[in-house]
Amino acid sequence: PEVLEFGQVLIKLYYSGICGAQINEIDAVKGPDKFLPHLLGHEGSGIVQKIGPGVNTVKEGDHVVLHWRPSSGIQAPTPKYNWKGKQINAGWVTTFNELAVISENRLTVIPKNFDMRIAPLFGCAVTTAFGVVNNDAQVKVGQSVLIFGIGGVGLNIAQAVGMVSAHPIVGVDLLSHKLEMGKKFGLTHGLLGGREGLDTEIRSLVGEKGADVVIETTGNSKLIEQAYELTSPNGVTVCVGVPKKGNNISIYSLPLHFNKRFIGSEGGSAIPDIEIPRYISLIEAKKMSLKGFITHEFPLEEINDALILFRSGKAGRIIINMV
């Protein structure tokens, strides 16, 4: 753009992640999309090229994480792009483009020596997962935790609950290789889902009354119901995944009048500017690792192949490389 508006920042993207939220947008899970055609992507890493009026939390040359959760700085007007003579809409952050105009409050500065390839994980997967554990579920040392869905967010949740010394940490997924990967990141037990006798097996691990904390990441309405059933009378069910519109859930609500809680998470209630520097310092101190989370990498030209692979459920985190 010739001129950046108040609070806008021009970023050269290096890497972008792919998240279930993009698949939800493509599939119009939340209903008709009135902004089409528009750009996608909400987690990435890049370098600041130019800043607009009023911007004071980032400067030219800064390395940044791009995230969808608002943080400090200005919420800028959303940009409009021209492509082959057509207008393409965009939100406050997009990452499936080599150059992007981003709202200042969707950027967090990271050290220049930090690996740009893993930095996009802080844009959503890590901050959401750790936020679910710290802010939403507020997992305590020694509590039992059950996680449905061991994808990008589920893996990070396993790591986070391991770091706060929850026990046992039970993961449920349809794919055995995801459970094996989960065990490297904190799961004490991995159980294959969708079979008879699963509830009994889970209760034998977490206790007859159910788990203290049950986190559902898939958005499957039947699994949300099952997660609620497997939560102890004094426990909390946290819904991270979002069901398709119309896929309603049915639960027996009486326990909610006592000590049981049933909550939805929006991005782990994370505050990126505060939380991302904490996680980076843990990685630098070798107290946590993101090694092995990224299983596949694609150039931007092959993003449709990357999306197909993401839908298959056979990948860990997928990264789009624009370097």
Q: What pLDDT band is residue 154 in, cutting at 50, 70 and 90?
A: very high
Q: What pLDDT band is residue 1 in, cutting at 50, 70 and 90?
A: low
Q: What pLDDT band is residue 24 in, cutting at 50, 70 and 90?
A: confident
The pLDDT tens digits of the residues spanning 196-254 come to 999 999 999 999 999 999 999 999 999 999 999 999 999 999 999 888 888 899 999 99
Count of helices and strands (H, E) across the chain? 8, 15
| Between 244 and 149, the higher pLDDT residue | 149
| Interval 180-197 mean pLDDT | 94
pLDDT at 21 over 90: no
pLDDT at 161 over 90: yes
Q: Is 11 helix (H, G, I), strand (E, B) or coil?
A: strand
| Interval 1-25 mean pLDDT | 90
Candidates 127, 181, 154; CA nearest to 292 is 181
Tokens (6 digits) for 82: 């021209």
pLDDT at 20 over 90: no
By CB atoms closer than 10 A (0-12, 13-18, 19+), residue 2 is exposed
Q: What pLDDT band is residue 116 in, cutting at 50, 70 and 90?
A: very high
The 10 Å Cβ neighbour count of residue 146 is: 27
| Interval 156-168 mean pLDDT | 96
pLDDT at 151 over 90: no
**What is the pairing mode between strands 294-299 and 86-89?**
unpaired
Across the chain, what does the average pLDDT equal? 94
**What is the pairing mode between strands 99-103 and 86-89?**
unpaired
**What is the pairing mode between strands 231-239 and 211-216?**
parallel
pLDDT at 162 over 60: yes
pLDDT at 15 over 70: yes
Q: What is the DSSP letter of 38?
A: B
Q: Which pLDDT value is given to residue 106?
A: 97
The pLDDT tens digits of the residues spanning 279-320 come to 999 999 999 989 888 999 999 999 999 999 999 888 888 999
Percent of the chain with pLDDT over 70: 99
Tokens (6 digits) for 78: 């959303």
Candidates 319, 281, 285; CA nearest to 299 is 319
